[in-house]
Structure 1
């Protein structure tokens, strides 16, 4: 596929407050002083769209966004960074408070969540997916509804399974509809086995990120790949997996082989790790 291909990303975008602490809170009454705090764009689909746009990909982000101050801030930041936002009407914009500590520890508090998308909005999004050259359908109510509505055709669908453990029923329709899947190793002690089980359900490629150890990939014919993490000065690990996936997909759109795409993905993840935002363009 040429790099001018249109990509659709469906799923969450949020307006977040990030609070950095010396340690994550214990389940007892106590007081802590934040090291620092800031507001920024969040959401796994927003992260992917930001990095795809930064790589010159024609990307459309379909996400629930409310007609409120958080939604206005969210759309302004995304559009300023080059993301075309196809906002789906919601009663409120999704908002999180993320508590973070050294070593990647994080507690995400969902303060508001989006309302259920209308049938008309789901149909619009599914039509856009069907017309795209490639689509990312993220785990969410919107994603599930789009998968059910999208007409059968040849658009390759890519899924981010996050911390999939191999048995979650919610993940199953996403997995079985996917041309390729990404995940991290948080939910498994056997990432190669987990990827193989995913490929048994239909995808032709599975990729698993291993944090500071890099990432591995398995093709349907059994070919294995490994890539080291790119050296980075860690500022914030939020969104590193989304950046990794975007970097990989952008390389594949340029018809790069899997091993080259993995190196491009590792380089893209570094961009996210070295900023306090999902992408440097938000700074």
Structure 2
């Protein structure tokens, strides 16, 4: 038996973390997500919109919810309490025009791992916009992530499951991506550019409060800096700084401190 040292309820989700980060940089991110018509879905929608995220919400049977069991060292086990399932046909029709407009207007499209995002890969590619994806703890073997990697111009991941990330990053570049990045926790991150050059950045010093969302914040920081014209070393450093700002808050982004607390 173990007594909890603390507990909190907050917004989770890898796409929400990235969108909140981009909003914090002064951009106008549009987040397409599936939410249930339940209390949790309404709370998530209200909080994201209050924090500056433009939300296109598809109606799903339930809002995704999970319980994270955390250690003081930041180790995590996620227990999924509910999953959204698929958007209903009426919801897809209602959001189709808004989603098409958002895809066409985007400077970049971020596709996070989900069946709904995988369904949208052909539409995203048809826009000609750069596609960024985050395959998290991909082991190099699982098949679900492969369409995302094949479609992406920029691929992000962490080193938890891959073994040798450097070899994999070079393989991603050889397959046609222009950027491949692996976060290494306290050891920072390593990125490989289109020319096959490796770039490393140390983790920014920070008093860690909660490790949830650090990888999403890192990617959002790199994306924002890249869109602003930064070269890869500068962009990686911006990602490290932004990840540190999220590590110092109990939420996915400091913007949620005033919204949820």
Provide TM-score, normalisation by structure 1.
Answer: 0.86
Number of positions where the alignment pairs a residue of Structure 1 with one of Structure 2: 253
Q: Distance in 2 between matches of 1:235 and 1:58?
A: 27
Instruction: Specify which structure has the bigger relative contact order, considering alpha-carbon pairs within 8 angstroms and separated by 6 or more residues.
Output: 1
Which residue in 2 is equivalent to 1:63?
33
Which residue in 1 is equivalent to 2:21?
51
Q: Distance in 2 between matches of 1:179 and 1:122?
A: 26
Which residue in 2 is equivalent to 1:40?
10
Per-residue Cα deviation, 1:152-210 (whole angstroms, up to 9, x for no partner)? 23110000010112222111110010011101111122111010111122211101100
Three-state SS of the structure 1 residue aligned to 2:16 is helix
Residue 223 of structure 1 pairs with residue 214 of structure 2: no
Using a 3 Å threshold, how does the CA distance of structure 1 residues 37 and 79 change in structure 2: closer, same or farther? Answer: same
Residue 147 of structure 1 pairs with residue 121 of structure 2: yes
Which residue in 2 is equivalent to 1:5?
none
RMSD between superposed Cα atoms in Å: 1.5
Deviation at 1:271? 1.0
Deviation at 1:123? 4.4
Q: Distance in 2 between matches of 1:259 and 1:122?
A: 38
Q: Distance in 1 between matches of 2:58 and 2:85?
A: 10
Alignment gaps of 5+ in structure 1: 1-30
- Pick one of 216, 222, 231 that aligns with 1:242: 216
Residues 206, 248 of structure 2: 8 Å contact kept: yes
Residue 276 of structure 1 pairs with residue 250 of structure 2: yes
Which residue in 1 is equivalent to 2:93?
120
Which residue in 1 is equivalent to 2:65?
95
Q: Which has the higher helix share?
A: 2
Three-state SS of the structure 2 residue aligned to 1:102 is coil
Q: Distance in 2 between matches of 1:106 and 1:57?
A: 30
Which residue in 2 is equivalent to 1:190?
164
Residues 243, 269 of structure 1: 8 Å contact kept: yes
Bigger shift: 133-142 or 123-132? 123-132
Q: Distance in 2 between matches of 1:127 and 1:133?
A: 12
Residue 206 of structure 1 pairs with residue 176 of structure 2: no
Q: Which has the higher strand share?
A: 1
Residues 127, 150 of structure 1: 8 Å contact kept: no
Per-residue Cα deviation, 1:113-163 (whole angstroms, up to 9, x for no partner)? 002124536744355323312110000011111114446231100000101
Using a 3 Å threshold, how does the CA distance of structure 1 residues 50 and 122 change in structure 2: closer, same or farther? Answer: same
Which residue in 2 is equivalent to 1:265?
239
Alignment gaps of 5+ in structure 2: none
Q: Distance in 2 between matches of 1:149 and 1:80?
A: 29
Using a 3 Å threshold, how does the CA distance of structure 1 residues 151 and 96 change in structure 2: closer, same or farther? Answer: same
Q: Distance in 2 between matches of 1:208 and 1:142?
A: 24
Bigger shift: 165-174 or 258-267? 165-174
